[in-house]
Chain A
């Protein structure tokens, strides 16, 4: 099975900060990686797919990069509405979520 790790597990930042979250896969997954945002009490929301493609309707301050085993999600200018937990998901073989990164404002 492909294992996913994320760092950091929690992140405290201020409005306007540039924020970067890293996701690593235990083996190469090419570009088959997505990022999700989950707010308390809500279902996850797709932000990025195929490592760097922005889902329709998602603000352009969100971006993704990487390939192979290392990926990043960047929020260029953190907004108060971005308070959430962020998960990566590999879908190269079955599906595996990362453990999540909680972003505190």
Chain B
């Protein structure tokens, strides 16, 4: 069974750093790109960027380039999303999602993690 299991909810202060995780299982983790999607409170879905676990090739949305870093540790089938200095506006639910087609970014997302709620407040 394909599963993406994300790390738990976080409460942070502005200026702090954070790294959240997404562990894949039940499929060949290195062959499918993984994307990260933001959902701010009461708002829609925004694609942030994607990473290829087999080679660490990374693509970012222009809106998020330089704001976050996406990385992967294929030895433990885990993708990461990190911030070096959080802002209150980073408060959101963050989802990871696996692409449906192997070896390409031109694919829909078929499996999703459960989401990680990040709250940034002083």
Contacts and interface: CB of A to CB of B under 8 A. Distances in A.
Interface residues of A, number: 24
Nearest to B44: A100
Interface in B1-37: 35, 37
A43 B115 contact: yes
A92 interface: yes
Contact of B106 (A36, A55, A91, A96): A91
Contacts, number: 59
A99 interface: yes
A44 B44 CA distance: 11
Interface in A48-105: 49-50, 55, 85, 87, 89, 91-92, 94-100
B100 A43 contact: no
A34 interface: yes
B45 A100 contact: yes
B108 A89 contact: yes
A97 B43 CA distance: 12
B113 to A, nearest CB: 7
B112 A43 contact: yes
A4 to B, nearest CB: 10
B45 A44 contact: yes
Contacts of B77: none
Contacts of B95: 43-44
A91 B108 contact: yes
Given A34-B108, A46-B108, A46-B110, A94 B61 contact: yes
B95, B106, B108, B114: which has the most chain A beta carbons within 10 Å?
A: B108
B62 A97 contact: no
Interface of B: 35, 37, 44-47, 50, 59, 61-62, 95, 97, 100, 105-110, 112-115
Interface of A: 1, 32, 34, 36, 38, 43-46, 49-50, 55, 85, 87, 89, 91-92, 94-100
